[in-house]
Amino acid sequence: MSSETTQELRPTATQTSPAPSREAPTSGGAVQRKRSLAGLDFAAQERALAPEAPVQRRATAPGSVVQREDDDGKEDEVNPGVTTPEASATPTPTPAAPTEFAEWADCYAAMSVPAKTGYDQFTTLFGEARAQQVTQGGAKSADKSKFVVSRATTLWAGKVMTQQQFDAKVAEKNVADAKSVDALLVKVKKVCDETDGTNRPGSVGDGTSEWALCWEAEHGEPFRSPAGHGYKLRDYCKVIKEGVAEIKAKKGAIRDAGKLAEIAALETRAIDRYEKMKAALVVWNGRVAAYPDKWNANGTSAVAPPGVDPLARNQLQAGWPSDATLAIA
């Protein structure tokens, strides 16, 4: 064979031998290992045989983007804007609970359980109004603008009673309330009798005090008394309003059905009296605008003393009345 033919049969530098078959064993152990994985897909076999490379991580400064090197050796961005736990900022401390409140309800809610118990016991025995007086005096800040939780807690926790003590006080209160209700019923009934004509049968008009006050507003003269009826109705309204409120607060101590029926009837009568006298006071306070020929701008009568209407019986005095309007309870 010629030298040219021999050179053609030899592989050139750029040629490569064919890759060995994947079945060709490189060692006995490797063959056995591959055969044990014959039931798995090829990719799973490769992952099982290949050692796992450790994930390379780079240290990050606080607030920087966390990156990692993936299997392809490239850096991928992971959770942009989120820092690693090692680089996180110091946790924000929990705000302290408020120690002062503008409203009592909020301060009450922040008090300790014993303080709340003390306040509730006191309110049961003496009423909400009395409890608030004590609170205003002992639980407010120096400038009296807010309720201070620590002061309120100390104040009311110091008034707590045992259940036995409290029950005994409630029993005493019920006895006292029952007696008080009897006295209040007498007081309120007297005002009703005095103002609804019961004590003056056959009187002029309908015999009520509100009728007399409305007559005075229209005529500019006091009806049969130098002071007139304005001040009387103002005071009567106050007595009825406060009396009925106190009766309602204390009638829980009453167990007798007959007494409770009496209370209910008087409450209805007293409230009717109050509303009618209140309406007359509204008329009185508006008398200057309603009857300008009878009243001066300052609220005093424009009628010449001692008056002209026979029904008034000449009771008018100069400068009457002393107040242009009256407060209504």
Q: What is the pLDDT of residues 137-192, one digit of tens each?
A: 999 999 999 999 999 999 999 999 999 999 999 999 999 999 999 999 999 999 99
Task: Compute, in degrees rounded to 10, the torsion defined by CA atoms 3, 9, 15, 16.
Answer: -130
State the pTM of this model.
0.62
What is the pLDDT, as a whole number, of residue 45? 53
Alpha-carbon 124 to chain mean position? 21
pLDDT(199) > 80: yes
Q: Read off the pLDDT band of 204 (50, 70, 90).
A: confident
Architecture of domain 174-312 in CATH?
Answer: Up-down Bundle (1.20)
pLDDT(116) > 70: yes
Mean pLDDT computed over 262-266 = 97
Q: Read off the pLDDT band of 91 (50, 70, 90).
A: confident
All structural domains of the chain with their residue ranges:
100-160, 174-312
Q: Kindly report, residue by residue over 33-81, the tens digit of the pLDDT.
A: 444 444 445 555 555 555 555 545 554 444 444 444 445 555 544 455 5
Residue 60's contacts (CB-CB under 8 Å, 6 or more residues apart) are 66, 67, 83, 84, 87
SS3 assignment, position 252:
helix
**For residues 160 and 120, what is the distance between their CA atoms, to the nearest angstrom?**
9
Kindly report the CA angle at 231 between 287 and 295, in degrees rounded to 5?
25
Helices and strands of the chain, counted as H and E runs = 12, 4
| Tokens 């924000």 found at | 92
